[in-house]
Amino acid sequence: MSRKPLIAGNWKMNGVLIDACNLAAGIAAACRGVSDRDVLLAPPFTVLSEVAHTIGDAPIILAGQNVCWEGKGAFTGEISPVMLRDAGATATLVGHSERRQIFGETDELINRRLKGALDFGLLAILCIGETLYQREKSQTFAVLEEQIRKGLADIAADRMGRVAIAYEPVWAIGTGKTASNDQAQEAHAFIRTLLADLFEKDIAAQTRILYGGSVKPTTIDELMAQPDIDGALVGGAALDVDTFGRIIHFT
């Protein structure tokens, strides 16, 4: 089954309004005419509406970087799926390693966020990945399995069409160290096999699995040539139009 590639840019906590709009305008221009791959941007919440306005009808999916499970209510500091939609987003990240590591988000909490995103019709990208310590202790597959099992707990198979997985080894995020093609492919193949066990073969075959961790123009082509790598979640390199433009146009 062929999976449409997805190149996602996570701007993290970067960009006041003017920077965000300039970056969005440049990326929108770089996406003109692109139809054989999806491009997604996850700007900070505060600039989402203006970024939506700036990209206009360019083929770009707009996403939040996180989401609450409730539509509204007493959840100080959170952003609801309804608010994301209202701001022009149709997707969200959940479980980014910075949310797990810095803010203590657990698999259970991330699962609630994921369900909330799906309940309100968003596409969700579930981020998973092992730390360097876990890799060195040969715990990578066990960690990925636990994050997937708990993160996707109680998600019905018919909702998996709106879920993508981002494999992001924590040791490769923002460090300049990309996983080797073999390391990334091995992890992606493991994740796909696990999805086939949890759901069914067809669902595993249709689910997009993105690689994230210091992706650059010099690494994207070979990563995308791996059979189980369906796209990239890009952090630092998504903050520059030319660099991200080159990644979007991987060959």
188 is catalytic: no
Site track for ligand PEP across 4-43, x = CB under 6 A: ------x-x-------------------------------
In the structure encoding, which two tokens stand for residue 182, read together? 């073999």
Query: In whole angstroms, how close is the CB of 83 to ligand PEP at the nearest point?
Result: 22
In order, the DSSP letters of the chain are: -----EEEEE-TT---HHHHHHHHHHHHHHTTT--SSEEEEE--GGGHHHHHHHHTTSS-EEEES---SSSSSS-TT---HHHHHHTT--EEEE--HHHHHHH---HHHHHHHHHHHHHTT-EEEEEE---HHHHHTT-HHHHHHHHHHHHTTT--GGGGGGEEEEE--GGGTTSS-PPPHHHHHHHHHHHHHHHHHHS-HHHHHH--EEEESS--HHHHHHHHTSTT--EEEESGGGGSHHHHHHHHT--
Annotation-wise, does 116 bind a ligand? Answer: no
Identify residues 231-250 at the interface with ligand PEP (CB under 6 A): 233-237
Query: In whole angstroms, how close is the CB of 9 to ligand PEP at the nearest point?
Result: 9
Residue 212 binds to ligand PEP (criterion: CB under 6 A) = yes
Annotation-wise, does 235 bind a ligand? Answer: yes
96 is catalytic: yes
Among 98, 130, 168, 188, the active-site one is 168
Query: In whole angstroms, how close is the CB of 215 to ligand PEP at the nearest point?
Result: 5
| The one among 173, 184, 191, 204 contacting ligand PEP by CB under 6 A | 173
Residue nearest to ligand PEP (CB): 235
| The one among 38, 105, 130, 168 contacting ligand PEP by CB under 6 A | 168
Query: In whole angstroms, how close is the CB of 202 to ligand PEP at the nearest point?
Result: 28
Q: Please give the size of the binding site for ligand PEP, defined by CB under 6 A.
A: 14
User: What is the distance, to the nearest Å, from the Cα of residue 117 to the centroid of all Cα atoms in its chain?
Assistant: 13
Where along the sequence are the contacts to ligand PEP (CB under 6 A)?
Answer: 10, 12, 168, 173-174, 212-215, 233-237
Active site members: 96, 168
